[in-house]
Each structure stands twice: as structure tokens, then as C-alpha cells.
Amino acid sequence: RAVVWALGFVVLMYASVGIVGALSIRVWGDSNLFSKLSGSDSALVQATVYAYPLLQNFTTIPVFAILIKYNLLQLCGMGNLSATAIAFVLPWAASLALYSGRGFETVCEVGGLAFSSVLNFAVPCALFGVMWARRQRGKAAPRSDAGARVA
């Protein structure tokens, strides 16, 4: 139930922010919301164009790095220091390298859609489904000791 409420809240917030942002633009043409907002006269609105991708990276890269670190520890047998260095330094270095020119805009469009959508929506739903199925199997077939004799 908590997952459903959290997922519903996130969908509602993303939709409301997107709809309000879209309604603030009179004529769209062939540009996206970032380009429309960056052409605004307001310094606050222009600041949001730069703040959004930064905040998105600040919220997704640490989660991504934690997942990478523990996968490297468990699956690759790496030490704690080397797994931490690879998991945390590599994503931040890649993100800083892509902060210039057209590459950053492409990463924001494609990477934001791919990673944010999957990590924020698909993975929690999939994990919830797996855990729910395991719980249902546990209720349906309780464990028994094979070969145990009842006196």
C-alpha cells in the first residue's frame, strides 16, 4: 500500500509540474520547455533551467552509485575502497564531462527519461511485484521439515 501511495504521489507531482510548466508557454513552435524557459526575461526562470538538471543528477547519481558499489562488492569480489572509487568517481566524472555543448542536452533528454523513469517507476514496481509474489508463495506453501517424525 505504501508503494502505491508513493508512486501515486510522484506521478501526481511530476504531472502537475509538467502541466503547469506547459501552460505557462503561449506559443510552442518547435522548441522544448528548456529552450522556452531559458529565453525568458526572468532571472529566476532562467535559473531553473540550470537547476533542474543539476538537482536531477544530485538525486539519481548517488542512488546509481550505491547500486553499483554493492554490485561490485558482491558480484565482482572487489574491495570496499576500489568499489567505492569506481562507483562514485566514474559517474560524477562522466556527468561533469557531459556538461558542455549539445552532449549535455542529449544526456538530459535521453538519460533523464531512461534513468529517472526506470529507477523511479519501473524498478520499485518490479521489486514490489517480486516481493509480493514471494510473500504469497510463502503463505500458500508453508515450509515443512522433510523426514521429521511426529511421535
Give me the number of domains the chain comprises. Answer: 1
Residue 100 lies in domain: 2-137
Domain contains 126? yes
Reported as a pLDDT band with limits 50, 70 and 90, residue 145 is: low
Domain contains 120? yes
Task: Report the predicted TM-score, pTM, of the whole model to 2 decimal places.
Answer: 0.39
Q: Is 105 exposed, middle or buried (0-12, 13-18, 19+ CB in 10 A)?
A: middle
More confident residue, 81 or 48: 81
Give residue for cell 539519481. Answer: 60
Domain contains 45? yes
Domain contains 104? yes
Domain contains 147? no
Q: Which residues contact 33 (CB under 8 A, 6 or more apart)?
A: 21, 22, 25
Reported as a pLDDT band with limits 50, 70 and 90, residue 56 is: confident
**pLDDT at res. 101:** 60
**pLDDT at res. 143:** 52
